[in-house]
């Protein structure tokens, strides 16, 4: 066997087998839904007004009072809301949700790179991106839960604003995409081991 034939066999062994259309479609949908979750979470955190309770509007960044005379009067000093531990608690919620967005950005980047690069480490990148989305879900849902616990005396189901539900939806999408990504990676044929499942 000539040296050229040996090199050709090595290259063929390293080459990733073609994925099926269905697998490519599922992976593309996971990436698109992850990007949508990232946008929803970012908008929700930037706006930050999550709960309307009677004449008060509680948010991540402001505490607002709604009056007929002045309209909406907002304060950045959350200690003036007279809710114990609100200022410290909201800084924790903001930190967790912001970290969730940052981790999701890295996770989404790994998912996209794994699809664009045709190398043997693509499956590993996909799995790592899915795990980062799962971490993002944990951080995001932890922030939501902390917000609800902090304001448990003010919470009503109809009091949650659209921005709160955007963050809730984003957190749910992070979870679904992470689990879906890990599952599709485990049931498809490994790219670097042809013929095995």
| 134: pLDDT strictly greater than 90 | yes
Highest CATH level, class, for 27-187: mainly alpha
Distance (Å, whole) CA 6 – CA 2: 7
32-57 pLDDT per residue, tens: 999 999 999 999 999 888 888 887 88
Distance (Å, whole) CA 68 – CA 26: 51
- Predicted confidence band at 186 (pLDDT cuts at 50, 70, 90)? confident
23 vs 169, higher pLDDT: 169
| 192: pLDDT strictly greater than 90 | no
Closest of 106, 112, 110, 108 to residue 124, by C-alpha: 110
Backbone φ and ψ of 121, nearest 5°:
-90, 5
Are the C-beta atoms of residues 181 and 108 closer than 8 Å to each other? no
Predicted confidence at residue 64, as pLDDT, reads: 80
Question: Which residue has tokens 């991106």?
Answer: 129
- Predicted confidence band at 5 (pLDDT cuts at 50, 70, 90)? low
Question: Which residue has tokens 């616990």?
Answer: 149
| 193: pLDDT strictly greater than 70 | no
Distance (Å, whole) CA 156 – CA 143: 18
Structural domain spans, the chain: 27-187
**Could you tell me what percent of the chain has a pLDDT over 70?**
82
| 135: pLDDT strictly greater than 60 | yes
């Amino acid at each position: 066997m000539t040296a050229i034939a040996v090199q050709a066999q090595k290259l063929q062994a390293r080459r990733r087998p073609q994925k099926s259309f269905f697998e490519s479609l599922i992976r593309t949908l996971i990436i698109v839904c992850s990007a949508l979750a990232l946008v929803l979470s970012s908008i929700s955190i930037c706006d930050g007004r999550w709960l309307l309770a009677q004449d008060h509007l509680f948010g991540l960044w402001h505490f607002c009072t709604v009056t007929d005379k002045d309209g909406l009067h907002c304060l950045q000093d959350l200690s003036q809301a007279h809710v114990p531990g609100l200022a410290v608690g909201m800084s924790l919620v903001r930190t967790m949700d912001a970290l969730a967005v940052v981790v999701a950005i890295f996770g989404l980047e790994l998912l996209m790179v794994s699809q664009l690069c045709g190398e043997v480490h693509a499956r590993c990148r996909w799995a790592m991106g899915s795990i980062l989305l799962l971490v993002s879900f944990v951080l995001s849902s932890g922030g939501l839960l902390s917000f609800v616990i902090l304001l448990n005396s003010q919470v009503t189901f109809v009091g949650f604003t659209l921005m709160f539900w955007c963050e809730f939806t984003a957190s749910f999408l992070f979870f679904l995409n992470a689990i879906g990504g890990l599952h599709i990676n485990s049931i498809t044929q490994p790219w670097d081991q042809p013929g095995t499942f």
